[in-house]
A = this chain, B = another copy of it.
């Protein structure tokens, strides 16, 4: 997506709609870069279907602390005991979960994905409900906390992680956004794993009121949201957060050039989030622009390399070890003895395999008798194509 488009979307969308919970507005486009006040289910019902690119949801965890929790020094742990985290029983929590998940699914574009974060108190119910509603789980991801709260009673393992579920809208969604190569490049050239080690949100990042009390009990670290958005969204995408809280999703979205839409029931949280996001400075477009990937590179026919003279008709190609030899035909096909076919087909045939990437399998003799893959020639062809387009 070009930065021009990003700008256009941003400018159209500073409407700051405020709703009281009824489906009081309808528009062909979802509002962008706003915090909508009210219950998220009717608010989502008021959004156009298939209008958001990514959902991040941090629903109430349904924590069940029977009694007050104290540290060994008898100081009281400031546990989550807000009204929004109280449910009569599992059935009430399931019903709540079904409602918001179904509403979120409706507004997801066909190739959108959703992340939901939770702990063992609620994540199993959330995950089962997602499967029941037709979501297609892509991964579960473990956020390993570098600095979790210890288990003060010494009766359990330190609860040192939370779980995220990443899912597509349904099982047929195959072209969801996933920046595999960028993540790998940023991870020592190793695939990004399903376990992420990140600190919890503390220090200057943690929102506090004038008296020093934390604004929101479960503020998520921006690094977590950043990894989510960098992995599964593009600049200019609309990220919906139906449990906006302190607005971490909005803050990170703005910084990373994504658009956000936050839904929040509590006016105080919404106000704190708006203030927080207003202070965010977006990163420059160059820092955000999606890196070109091999999958997105323009397709080049091997025939065009022959036509342009990068490969001579009649030249012999071999595999890296010189075990197989094939001749380049003027029409861009390869000939292995009497058999003629594409670079891929002939490569597969030569090895007795069902498939083969001919670009990396076949080599030509470059300077000094060294062998180089014909993929190098494709790179040259792509460069001259790009130069011609300037």
Contact = CB atoms under 8 A, between A and B. Distances in A.
Interface of A: 66, 70, 72-74, 90, 119-121, 123-128, 130-132, 137-142, 144, 148, 150-151, 154-161, 163, 165-166, 171, 178, 180-181, 183-184, 191-195, 231, 348, 351, 353-357
A353 B75 CA distance: 8
B120 A123 contact: no
B163 A140 contact: yes
Contacts of A156: 138-139, 178
Nearest to A355: B74
Contacts of A124: 123-128, 130-131, 165
Contacts of A66: 171
A56 to B, nearest CB: 16
B137 A195 contact: no
A6 to B, nearest CB: 25
A142 B195 contact: yes
A150 B187 CA distance: 14
Nearest to A148: B193
Contacts of A191: 150-151, 154, 157-158
Nearest to A191: B158
22 contacts: A74-B348, A74-B356, A90-B131, A123-B140, A124-B124, A124-B126, A124-B130, A124-B165, A127-B127, A141-B157, A144-B144, A148-B193, A154-B191, A157-B183, A157-B191, A157-B194, A158-B192, A158-B194, A159-B194, A160-B194, A160-B195, A163-B163
B180 A154 contact: yes
Contacts of A194: 157-161
B193 A160 contact: yes
A59 to B, nearest CB: 14
Contacts of A163: 140, 163
A193 B158 contact: yes
Contact of A120 (B70, B140, B348, B357): B140
B139 A120 contact: yes
A121 B127 CA distance: 10
A157 B193 contact: yes
Contacts of A74: 348, 351, 353-356
